[in-house]
Structure 1
Amino acid sequence: MFFNLSLRFKLPLWGSLLIVITALTLSLTFMGQAYDDLKQDVLRSSEDLGLTMSRALIPLMLHDDMWLAFEMVSLPFQENSHTDGMHAESLIVLDPERRVYVSSLPERYPVLAELPTLGREFAYVDKSLGTLQEGESKVLEPPDSSRLFIVLPIIADGVTLGTLLVVHDTSSFWFRFLRLADRALWITLIVLGVLLPINWYWGQRMTRPLSLLAQHMETIHHQLPEALEPGIYEYGDELGRLYKAFAEMVAQLKEKALLEKQMIQSERMAAVGRFTASIAHEINNPLGGMFNAISTLKRHVSLDPVAQMTVSHLERGLQQIRDTVAALLVEAKLKSRFLIRQDFDDVRLLVTHEAHKKHVELAWSIATDESLPLASTLVRQILINLLLNAIQAASDGGHVSLRAAMDGDNLLIRVENDGKMLTPEQMGTLFEPFSRFSEQGNGLGLWIIYQIVQQLKGTVTAGTDAGITHFLVLLPLTEQKDGNV
């Protein structure tokens, strides 16, 4: 249906139709007026000729000088042998009995011929002459005829001597009219050739912003619409105000969506906080007993070097568990020693077993100071979680690398793996609890990393590049205090 077309087509089509109708109406009106004006010019010219001729014929008819009368009515046609549509076809002088007294074409209209004998048109003229009042002039147009008859009485001293018929063939001035019509047609085509492209350009120019606005509005039920390009329509009219209102609406919707996302994330974190707080007590009680047992063992039992190393690892592992539980509680104040190079070696020892199970090659590069003013327990937890996630994501026989180095007053940690790439959906919810970062696990590992990094006033980001997934952690040293942290 035409009315269901896009405004990009409907508005230019309506404009084009209006332009064509207007142009045709003006052209037809002009041609009709030109035809009437041309006809009136012909009648005026014929009437002027008839009046002049009727006055000149009076003395000739009074003296019954038929020969001079013939020369008189023939004279105009000798001077204008090439008709241009404005001159009469012939002149016929009738006597009082409405017979031909003399004519400019005697072979066609012979002397003393009665009008009805000259044809249907002249019979109509003869009948019309009988209805005219004495001395009345008139223009006669027989039906279905191409001739006009101008009737002029020839009167001398109140006595009607006869009647002058000025016969005009209307088809003779059609040539002039067609020339005018041809000119009008070309002017109309030129006007249409100029106005129609302008109409299509402005129609498209005006409706393209509306079309784009409609396309963006149609997506609002499925997703947040994208903001329109600011340079599409820069004017301050109704359409410009509509564009401005749409841009403000999109900004408000995005702000609302962001607030909703933050609220959902806050609710999730609050739920996790309540969950971790409920289990922290249950975990810390047995941990306290284990610490007491290890302390008693170290005081009362003489251990060989291997057993001492094993007990030391157990103690550090239990401390890691306690600090991890504390890290889940965002408001917890942890006490920990500074980070040292030995912490990196401990982390490597803890994750090596998982790497061997998947035949993953570990690449290790540590370029830091011997001691850094960072909470060692928290940094170790970051490293363990990132490396275990990387090993889990890596394919069998794949590669995982850890690089730690100083970047000014920051510790820069980069963990990479060549396993499955992160999808855009995963990137959007990567550090949310229970986000299903991978097919296995509960998604808390990265959330814990995020919480710890936030406590340390740092940043954590993720990305993929050339088939490598990387996590980048930046921890500022200037935020930490001297001594224990």
Structure 2
Amino acid sequence: MLTLQPSLPITLKVPLAVAALMMLVGAVISEQVLSRLAETQERHLAELSQSYLDGLSSAIAPSILREDNWEVFDAIERTQAVNKSLHPKETIVTNADGAVIAASNPKVHPIGTVIPVWRARDASNESFSFRAGADDAKAVRTLSYPGRVAGIIYATFDTRHLASERRDVVLALLLTNGILTSLLAAAGWLLVTRMMRPVRVLSEHLGVAHATSALPISDEIVAKTRGEFGHLFRAYNSLVRSMKEKEELAKRLAEEKRLNSLGRLASAVAHEINNPLGGMFNALSTLKAHGHLKNVRDVSLGLLNRGLVGIRDVVRTTLTVYRSDGATRDLQHADIDDLGLLIGPEARRKSVEIVIANSLNGAMPLPSTPIRQIVLNLVLNAVAAAPAGSVVNVAAAADDTGLSIVVTDRGPGMPPEAADILLSSSGSPPPYDGGGLGLWTISRLIADLGGTAVVQNPAIGGTVVSVNIPTATAELSNVA
């Protein structure tokens, strides 16, 4: 029984199965044909041999009683001449004691010679012996008269022509079965290949969808495909269009969420600017009223200077993070520290302290804008998850291989579905429900920079997000 390996494609499994089935059927049919041929040959030869023996028995009956050698020999010669189609090979006539009376070949079996023992055994059982494919057949006839055995006839017939006929039939069966098996296997391969062509097309498009993004099947292929596969192709294209629409919608939602976050941050920045303005106006009023006093003048000017510096830092940081001109600038030590000014109002609103451990020295050959966006979003998420009175730690370090950023909070821990979004590849579509768009944006920026992210939920609680960005990166496309 043929066992097909699971690794073989179906275009080979079906032809091999057809070939195996045809070989099995051919073997059964060949066995039946050869069996019937052997039965037909044996029956036909047995009938002819009995006719031969009947004629010879009638011709030698009076002579065998007298043991007239010449009459018996002459009868053998005449009978063989009449039955040439039977191909008589040898005929021996003996008396009851087994002594030869006459034979077709007197030189081999002289008169009076006792025949071999095997022929004597055959005399006790009148029979016809023939084996399919053998070169000869044997027949024995006992001549009996009332009360005694008068003699025995041994006849041998040449059956090489029957053996040749059998070989020709075997060869014809082998050739026929081989040709039919090859034709049916080839037809099965062609048929299955044609049937599997739509499946191959669909499989290739699904493979592309898994690697990058789903592409629709061309209208030309869909128009040529009929039946169930045509419906399947149209359904697949509808699914691809639906996925594209959802992806575009998700991108718009992400952009809207980014703008919404920018609005919240703008409100916080306005609040941060508005706070020192009140003190600055008070300082101006004091200067107008008591500017002639040196100590009052020094205190008021110092307050105005610190307020203006704070406002400048807040505006500069906001402009750096959200500029849209696509310009890139190397990452600086101050880029990480300035984020505390942006997130400070939100942290104070939630009573959360932000501790930044920044060990960067000088500039790093990394684009500052996307990295600041990554850190800003991670810290905002950490502040949102952190309980009141807790601390959010931000650590930034650099070495020869790249930049390492670790953000730690003491919240309930990042849910698995949110971690999956953060750790997804850049080719994955944004969440369709709109949730986790900030994390999806972070994952896209990290992937674009060639970096990696790791999320840990310590046993003591909270979340630790580690981001590693190598210094050797490809050119960054629009990530602002």
State TM-score, norm by structure 1: 0.48
